[in-house]
Amino acid sequence: MDRITLAAHAKINLSLRILGKREDEFHELETLMTRIDLHDDVEMMHGAGRGICFTCNDPDLPMGPDNLCVKAANSFRDAAGLDHGVAITLMKRIPHGAGLGGGSSDAAAVLLGLNELFDYPLVSEELHQIAATLGSDVPFFLGNGLSWCRGRGELLEAAGPLPDRGILLIKPPFPVPTAWAYQRYAAMKVAARGISQDDAQWLEKIMLVNDLEAPVFEKFILLAVMKNWLRRQPEVESALMSGSGSTMVAIIAPSVSPDRVSDLRERIIADFGPTFWICESRFLNT
């Protein structure tokens, strides 16, 4: 095999609870994550020499050793005992700083793709160990479907299929740094708290909740305004922030037609301005 291209899917957090601070300074998490059909494309091929050549259509991403795809490739080659050259081309569609896991998904795609390209020198447990060193979300993207992620996010438990729903992703023209969001949560000393029956949102038996909304909404008031606005729209079954933000997720009610979703998009632009990134997507169950 000379080259391989994999789709690196985005994720959303349907539930994100912070259970406390760990001795390693990370937070103890319990989060329910699902992939969605929005994805980047990652192409990997044998390269000249012994280096890693990385190119991307997004000039805002680092292209050198700080890039997560490059880190994944270096970690893979070290673990597999390889010094072959690798060329990686990333076609970005998932915005960064959005809470959609784009960088983590790209890194997982590199691990899976290089393992196939070099005829599977590593078993899945070894890939999982590498993924856990790259980032808390990376192990999730080695699998498929809906999963509970615990610990730092590296302990996975498969969950049942989701109901079929369309979603609308709405990202304002600013990112939210993940590290800042967790630091702000710790500084606020926000305890995991109950949700009143009036405020609770459900996707069948799944309670939709995100503990990072409180610290993020305190600084980025626009996101709190948008969530309340979305919940009042007749097309929206529920709305919440994904991960550390800044993307807001509107889960579309099952009976809503494509024309009404288009109307909703137009109202978002009319009320919040044309600088918002808006994308229609769906849950992936496989």
User: Residue type for 161, please?
Assistant: P
Active-site annotation holder among 11, 71, 92, 227? 11
For the record, the structure tokens of 274 come out as 């044309």
For the record, the structure tokens of 202 come out as 């459900």
Would you call 219 a catalytic residue per the annotation?
no
For residue 139, count CB atoms less than 10 angstroms from its CB and return exposed for 0-12, middle for 13-18, buried for 19 or more: buried
- 244: closest CA among 188, 184, 162, 168? 184
Would you call 11 a catalytic residue per the annotation?
yes
Peptide linkage before 246 cis (omega within 30 of 0): yes
Which position has the token pair 């044309």?
274
Alpha-carbon distance of 176 to 167, in angstroms, equals 21
Whether 18 and 28 have beta carbons less than 8 Å apart is answered as: yes
Active-site annotation holder among 40, 92, 106, 137? 137
Q: If residue 262 lies in a helix (H) or strand (E), which one and from where to where?
A: helix 258-272
Q: Where are the alpha helices (DSSP H) in 118-257?
A: 124-134, 178-188, 213-219, 221-231
CB within 8 A of 78, min separation 6: which ones?
Answer: none
CB within 8 A of 263, min separation 6: which ones?
Answer: 235
Catalytic residue annotation: 11, 137
